[in-house]
Amino acid sequence: MELNHNSTTTAAGVDEVGRGCLFGPVVAAAVVLLPSACEQLQSLGVTDSKRLSPARRESLVAPIQALATDYALGLATVYDIERLNILHASLLAMTRALRRLSVRPDLCLIDGNQAIPNLGLPQQTVVQGDRLHIEIAAASILAKVWRDRLIVRLDRRYPGYHLARNKGYGSAAHRLALQTLGPTPQHRRSFKGCS
């Protein structure tokens, strides 16, 4: 992991989750960390959320929130996704997360290769950023845990799609349920296999 900011630079890591899902919103998080907090979180095992078990991700939420200078979540709804397309909806979710911060970061580290349009803040895109920057890894964990909790709640509202297990991704059971039950209002109808 890179810890290459000077000791007074506040960097916000930004990441989103749920881009490839068939169901539910895209959720982004922005986490502002000082380098000292990055070092502490690295020692606690903060890394790319996809490399961590669900229980491990859950256990890291409180320390990330405690050590962050600031953090915020933003989401793009299914309506946003259908209206804009998934890439632009993801960038919108990131923008919403950053606009909710009360601290103005000196630099926004954006996971991926797409800059956020009209952001009005210094930004740097980082391919595989959740593996290279603690700030982005922390954002990926907060976004993933928040979205997973939401989908588990929505599983009770929309039974039969196995959402608590697949978190809205297109598992075989989810796709079969779509064929037999049809899509819910939270399904992304423009996605293959959803209509």
121-137, pLDDT tens digit by residue?
999 999 999 999 999 99
pLDDT at 192: 87
Cα separation, 87 vs 65, in Å, equals 27
**Residue 25: both structure tokens together:** 């919103």
Q: Between 35-44 and 54-67, two packed helices, what is the crossing angle to 10 degrees?
A: 160
Q: Which domain holds residue 84?
A: 11-158
pLDDT (mean) for 148-173: 97
* Mean pLDDT of the chain, nearest integer: 94
Does residue 2 surpass a pLDDT of 50? Answer: no
92-128, pLDDT tens digit by residue?
999 999 999 999 999 999 999 999 999 999 999 999 9
Which residue type sits at 69?
Answer: T
Q: Look at residue 182 and tell me if it is in a domain.
A: no
Does residue 9 surpass a pLDDT of 80? Answer: no
Q: Look at residue 168 and tell me if it is in a domain.
A: no
Give the domain CATH number at 20. 3.30.420.10
Nearest CA among 134, 98, 128 for reference residue 116: 98
Which residue type sits at 174?
Answer: H
Paired strand residues for 23: 187
Q: Look at residue 117 and tell me if it is in a domain.
A: yes
pLDDT (mean) for 137-152: 98
What is the count of structural domains for the chain? 1
Q: Look at residue 136 and tell me if it is in a domain.
A: yes
Pair 29, 125: CB distance under 8 Å: no
Range of lowest pLDDT (1-15, 30-44, 163-177): 1-15
Q: Look at residue 165 and tell me if it is in a domain.
A: no
pLDDT at 129: 95
Pair 119, 36: CB distance under 8 Å: no
Q: Look at residue 3 and tell me if it is in a domain.
A: no
Which residue type sits at 170?
Answer: G
Q: Look at residue 194 and tell me if it is in a domain.
A: no
